[in-house]
Structure 1
Amino acid sequence: MVGVESSRLDRWLWAVRLTKTRPDAATACRAGHVRVNDRPAKPATPVSPGDEVRARVNDVTRVVEVVRVLPRRVGAADAATCYIDRTPAPPPEMAIPVARRDRGAGRPTKRERRVLDEFRTGGL
C-alpha cells in the first residue's frame, strides 16, 4: 500500500483506530481534546509523518508520533505500524482500604458501627 503525504486529522485518528468512528474523532477535535504539535487541532488539520498527536479519547490521553499516513482504515495490526506510541505510563493506583462485611451478616452491632465510623473518619 502506497503512503500518502498528508491526511485530515479526523480521518487519520479513525484509520489508525485511536477512535472508534470518524465522527467521534471530529467531535474530539472540536471539543479541544486533540492537539497536533502542541497546537489545538480542527478535524481538517493536516497530519504528516513526524507530527506529534496528543488525543484524549475515552478519558485516556494518548501521545503518538505519526509514522505513516493511511488513505483508508486498515486492520489493527497494520494500524499499529502507522504510529509510535509515546504515551507515558499511568501512575500506580493507590489502593484505598474499604470496610467489608460478610454477605448476610445482618445489621452491624453498635460496636461494629463505632469501628466503621472510626475507620471512615480516619480515627479523629
Structure 2
Amino acid sequence: MVRSQNDRGGTASDETEALRIDKWLWFARFFKSRSLASQFCGAGRVRIAGNIVGKASHMVRVEDILTFPLRDRVRVIKIVALGSRRGPAREAVLLYEDLSPETVKPTGDSDSTAGVAEREPGSGRPTKRERRHLDRLREN
C-alpha cells in the first residue's frame, strides 16, 4: 500500500521542511566535504538553540540558530533557507544570516604584528632589532 503525506497524520502544509545538519553545513560551504561536516557534528561540536547535537542526522529547519567553533572564532548562524544543492559561494551566503560577534582587529600598521606583545624599550631581553643595533655599535 502506498502512503501519501496525508496518511501520516498531517497535511503537507503542517509539516515543516527539514534537512540534515551535515548536509546543510556542506550546502552553506562551512565545510569542504559532507564527510567533514558529518565528523564535526558527530563530535558534538555544534549546538542548535544551545543544545548539543550529537549526530549528523539531526534535522535543522529555517529559523534555527546554530553555534559552532570554526577556525579561529565561534560562529553563530541563523538558518534563513535550507537550499537544495551545494551551489557557488554567492548562493551559499543566502542560506544563512551571520549573527557572530565581530572580531576586533588589533590596531597597528599591519596584520603581521598581530599578537606581538608591547613592552617598554630597554626592559627585559633585547629584541633582534635591538641586538643588531648593539652589534653595529660594538663594531665601530
Q: Tell me the TM-score normalised to structure 2 length.
A: 0.64
Q: 1:8 aligns with which of 14, 17, 20?
A: 20
- Could you list the per-position Cα deviations for residues 20-54 of structure 1 after superposition, in whole angstroms to 9, with x for gaps in the alignment? 21111111112221111111112111111000011
Q: 2:59 aligns with which of 46, 52, 66?
A: 46
Letter in 2 for 1:43: A
Q: 1:101 aligns with which of 124, 129, 133?
A: 129
Structure 2 residues not aligned, in runs of 5+: 1-15, 107-114, 120-126, 136-140
| Aligned match of 2:124 | none
Q: Tell me the TM-score normalised to structure 1 length.
A: 0.72
Aligned residues: 105
Q: Give me the whole-angstrom Cα distance separating, in 1, the residues matched to 2:85 and 2:116.
A: 43
| Aligned match of 1:60 | 73
Q: Give me the whole-angstrom Cα distance separating, in 2, the residues matched to 1:11 and 1:50.
A: 16
| Aligned match of 2:86 | 73
Sequence identity, in percent? 30
User: How well do the aligned residues superpose, as a CA RMSD in angstroms?
Assistant: 2.7
Letter in 1 for 2:35: P
| Aligned match of 1:89 | 102
Q: Output aligned runs, 1:24-39, within 5 Å.
A: 24-39=36-51
8 Å Cα contact 1:64/1:83 also seen in 2: yes
From the CA coordinates, give the structure whose radius of gyration is larger: 2
Structure 1 residues not aligned, in runs of 5+: 110-124
